[in-house]
Structure formats: structure tokens, C-alpha cells
Amino acid sequence: MLGATSSMLSKGVVLAVSAIAIPITVRYLGPENFGIWVTISTALSMLLVLDLGVANSLTNFISEAYARDDRDHASTYTTTALGVVLAVALLLAGVAWWIWPSLHWDRLFHLSSAAEVPTVSRAVAAALAIFLLGLPAGLAPKILGGYQELRAANLFIAIGSLFNLLSIIVLVRLHAGLVALVIASSAALVGANLLALVWIFFFHKPWLTPRLKHLQGRAARRMMQSGSEFFALQVAGLIVFNSDNLIVTHYLGPAQVASYSVAWRLVGYAAIAQTLVTPALWPAFSEAFTRGDLPWIRQTFRRTMVLTMGSAIAASLLFALAGRWIIRIWASRAAVPTEELLLLMCVWIIISTFMNNTATVLVAKGETRLQAWCSLAAAALNLALSIYWVQRIGAPGVILGTIVSYLILLVGPQTWKVYQVLKENALTHSGSVKPEC
């Protein structure tokens, strides 16, 4: 409840910032530059999967340590996770330095003018540097989540969002360009996570401060084994959730991304109840599985499903009927999507809410193998269908590809697996802790 309540306050700040920032940036940058900005953010967020699932697996290991009250266990996995993501960040920096001269930004972004190439190159370089710094910083909310202290993680998220809005307003008033806006908005969010990480290590939980003796190969292997399935889920997730803007940019031009992105953000508000509750449920479910408290998991899952699905369906109906009118007033006429695109996004958000609820049970239990492979198959089909349909019916084809691929390959298997997990005899989970290996 504390996690959900703090998420409500934090998400309220994030949504308010988004609601204020989007019309400001759309009107200031124009549809094409706004589309470039969104595309850069999308492309970099896709690289988050290159942490090999270590960050997400850390939540389960911290939850395991929390249930056992084992500080050494928590410190070992925190130090090891930090070492792995730092190594990944350095590797990515080296690869970027090597391939940078051969990249053709005009083709990648479908730019209308060659004069924009230097600006786009600088913006991507700045965002990439901040992103690499954000890889280790991103462990902070995972650590706090494992300890079921999402209220603290949400506070730092809210701080980052407020600084993001403040930087956008100041830079717009100073008539800054695209590069400055990309730097300021990215740095605000990463800076908040860095602040949280410093606070955890030196003030809040000093036993987690990284130590060389806690950097262990055995822990790294266990994290990589667990992280491999998270990695597969992350790869599937980035294709499903982050490839859309790239496909629209490549085939339809960056100006089309504006209406697609704004529509997506509006419809995303329909899932607000799910985004508030499930982050707190993941570590709570993980601890409950460790302690063998299956009845509580079943009861909480049923209540969560009723709450989140009910609110998602109601909000989706509202946006399907009045979404274009809302966007016209909110973000300008240039960002208004077609009726078909908005309706398909509303259908998808209902499916997505259901799937995220079931996924929370599986990741907390560590039963992610079936989910991972089905998600990868669905992501591959989604990519193929999106590319095929976007060239024939435009932007609605991208979200249609997502809906069809999920319905065919993922909804059924994942639902069946959750049913099996929740129907297991609670005695099979009895005992105070799970074995470490």
C-alpha cells in the first residue's frame, strides 16, 4: 500500500510533467524535430536490454536477501550487478566510438534536409553519453524495489521529472536548440537515479556500498543465468514497445511520429492503476513466494486484476470516444491521430494491462522461461507485421501488428502458466527461505 500510494503521487507528478511538457515541446520544436527527439529517446531506451537482464534480476536477489535478513547476500549481488553494468557501459561506449563515423543520420531519421545531420549527430551523441551513465544509476530503483521501499524510489523519480520540466521551460525561454533540450531532459532523470544510488550506498544502506571482496564470479553466473530470461523478455519488450516510433520514422517520416507518440502517451494514462500497483507487487510477490504465502498472492492478484482491468477498460472507452478532441486541445492540431490509430491503441492498452498483471506473478516466482520464449516469438511476428502493414495502411498498421502477434503467440501460453503457478499447492512453497543454488 505504501508503494502504491507513493507511486500515485510520483506518477501524478510524472503525468503532470508530461502533460505540460508535450504541448510546449511540440509547439516549440515543430512536428519533425519533436519526432526526432522522441526517436532518439526511443532508440536509446532500446539499449537498456544490453544490461543482459542483470538490473531486473537484482530485484529478486535483493528480495531473497530481504526475506532472509542477509546483508552479505544483498551486498554481494549489488556489487556484482554494479560491476557487470559498468563493464557493459564501457563496452557500449567503445562500440559507439568505433561505428560513429559510418552512420548515416539522414537515412536513419528520414531527414528532409541534409543541414540537420550535424544537429542530429550531436543530439544522439549527448543522449548516448548520458544514457551510458544511467546504466549503473538505474540499479537504484531496483535495489529499493527489492527492499519494498518503492516510496523512496518514487520520490527520486518525481524529483527527476520536476527538474526535467524545469529544464525544458528554461531552455525554451532561452530559445535553445534540439541538442540542449535532449541533454537537459536526459540528464535530469539520470541525475535523480545517481542521487538515489549515492544516498543508498553512503547513508541509507551503507552495507551495500560496493566492495571488491563482494565482486564474485559465482554471483555473476547466477545473475546471468537468471538475467538471461529477463534479457529475452527485455528484447521482446523493446521490439513491442519501442520499435514503433522507429518504424514510423523510417517509413513515414519523423513528422508522423508526433501524432503517434502523443496518442500513445494519452492512451497510456488508461493503464495508470496498473502502473501504480504492479511495481510494488513484484518484490512483495517475490518475498511471499520465498515464505510460501501462496493464499495471499492469489487473493492480491485477483483484487489487482479487478482494479486494473476495470479502470483500463473505462479509460480506454473514454479515449476512444473523445481522444482526438483531447489531443487537439492538449497538444495542437498537428498531433491529432486518426480514429483508427486511437481505437487500436485503446484495444492494445487493455491487452497490455492484462498481460502485465500476469507477468508480475511470473517474474516474482522466477518462472519466466515460457514467457520469455513466447515473448520473443511474438516480438518477431510483431516486427514483421508492423513493417508490412505500415507500408500499406500507415501508422495504424504498427499497433495492429502488436495486437495480432500478442493474441496469437503470447496471451494464451502466459495465462496458462500463471494459472498453473497460482494453483500449486502452498505446501510446495513451505519453509522460510528458498535454497540459494
**CA gap 352, 350 in Å, rounded:** 5
Q: How distant, in Å, are the alpha carbons of 184, 306, 322, 357 from that of 327? A: 25, 29, 9, 28
Instruction: Give the amino acid at 296.
Output: W
Residue 244 lies in a domain: yes
Residue 31 lies in a domain: yes
Q: 371: domain range?
A: 2-429
Looking at the structure of the chain, the number of domains it has is 1
What confidence category does residue 124 fall into, taking pLDDT thresholds of 50, 70 and 90?
A: confident
**CA gap 138, 189 in Å, rounded:** 10
* Between 19 and 343, residue with greater pLDDT: 343
Residue 436 lies in a domain: no
What is the pTM assigned to this prediction? Answer: 0.62
pLDDT one-digit tens code per residue, 324-376: 898 888 777 777 888 888 999 999 999 999 998 998 898 888 787 888 888 88
Residue 437 lies in a domain: no
Residue 319 lies in a domain: yes
**CA gap 167, 146 in Å, rounded:** 31
- Set of cell numbers at residue 211: 566492495
Question: 234 and 376 in contact (C-beta within 8 Å)?
Answer: no
**CA triple 93-97-100, angle to 5 deg:** 125
| Helix, strand, coil fractions of the chain, as percent rounded to 5 | 90, 0, 10
Residue 434 lies in a domain: no
Highest mean pLDDT among 25-29, 177-181, 282-286: 282-286
Residue 81 lies in a domain: yes
**CA gap 106, 118 in Å, rounded:** 10
Residue 435 lies in a domain: no
By C-alpha distance, which of 109, 386, 123, 383 is closest to 249? 109
Instruction: Give the amino acid at 305.
Output: M
pLDDT one-digit tens code per residue, 417-433: 998 888 864 444 444 44
Q: How distant, in Å, are the alpha carbons of 116, 227, 282, 339, 396 from that of 32? A: 11, 37, 39, 22, 19
> What is the per-residue pLDDT for 30?
73
